[in-house]
Chains A and B, each alone.
Chain A
Amino acid sequence: MSYLDDSLITRQLHDPATRRRAFEELVKKYTAQLYWQIRHMVLSHDDTNDVLQNTFIKVWTNLDNFRGDSKLATWLYRIAVNESLTFIQKRKDTLTIDDTEAGPAAELESDPYFDGDETDLQLQKALQTLPEKQRIVFNMKYFQEMKYEDMSEILKTSVGSLKASYHFAVEKIENYFNAND
């Protein structure tokens, strides 16, 4: 499916007459990309659906604040990451001690929308042991194959720091697997 160019969508978003139509185009174009970004952070499909909807609602209500200084995709990813982090923080605040020990990765075993094998499950559990920033960088690089330059714009962090974060994340995951072998 072919979508409109980002610059055209941006122009139409700033025109009240075409705003709604352009927003629908934006939703269609970026739903899958943002979904997978959020899904790898919050894990459950239902939670991802909620966060994705909140993300687009936030995009809609803040359209006037987007002046095109950064790329449209970068702006959308930044909102999606922030919404995911807010959701994760709220979930942490409401979890009991037992839930915290198991972590959201433990729920994947009974999740109908998770069809990974034992290794995939262990990888998700290993990811839950990483600091937030390393987990985000790992997901973006490993699962979404995002360039460090794009990640740098989204997360407002230097490329060097992102490379270091990814390196540490990989090291910790490998250690986790070695320890659980």
Chain B
Amino acid sequence: MKQIDLTNNPKSKKSPFKVPEDYFENFATQMMTQIPETIFVEKTNMAKNVEVLEPTITIFTRIKPYIYLAATICGLAFGVKVYQIQKQYYAEKHQTPVATVNEAQAAQFVDDACDFMMIDDHDVYSCATNTF
């Protein structure tokens, strides 16, 4: 085997690699087919004889930020409404029931209890004053 010469002598380092014919000439054309086309409307300014290129902006592109803004507000409003409904639902669910009893009903309960236990006013008085 020939001895390798690594002394940076250009004559000794011919590249061992080849490329297909016209590869470099055709590469750019082939490459550009993979690059997305940007749509430009060409305007020719005849007075100044200057070619001006301006990108086309569709209506959707113009209103897109407003659509996003409206969608965000709707989303937020919906979220707040759902939160309020849930809060109300849980508040109602976990509320402690309170029975409202008026004075006449209370007196009636006491009378019924006294009848059931067979006690009279005297017994009640003795019990209250601890004298029986």
Residues of A that sit less than 8 Å from B by CB: 16-20, 23-24, 27-28, 31-32, 35-36, 39-40, 43, 45, 52-53, 56-57, 60, 113-124, 141-143, 145, 170, 173-174, 177, 180-181
How many inter-chain contacts with C-beta < 8 Å in the A-B complex? 90
| Contact yes or no, A45 B20, CB < 8 A | yes
| Contact yes or no, A123 B38, CB < 8 A | no
| Contact yes or no, A31 B28, CB < 8 A | yes
Chain B 46-63 interface mask (CB, 8 Å, partner A; 1/0)? 000000111100000000
| Contact yes or no, A113 B19, CB < 8 A | yes
How far, in Å, is A15 (CB) from chain B's closest CB? 9
Dominant SS among interface residues on chain B: loop
Which stretch in B2-10, B83-91, B101-109, B124-132 binds the other chain? B2-10
| Contact yes or no, B54 A17, CB < 8 A | yes
| Contact yes or no, B35 A31, CB < 8 A | no
Dominant SS among interface residues on chain A: helix
| Contact yes or no, B17 A27, CB < 8 A | no
CA distance in complex: A20, B34 (Å): 12
CA distance in complex: A56, B40 (Å): 22
| Contact yes or no, B17 A45, CB < 8 A | yes
Instruction: Supply 11 further A-B pairs (C-beta < 8 A) apart from A53-B31, A124-B16.
Output: A20-B38, A45-B18, A56-B31, A113-B17, A113-B18, A114-B17, A118-B1, A119-B4, A120-B16, A123-B4, A142-B13
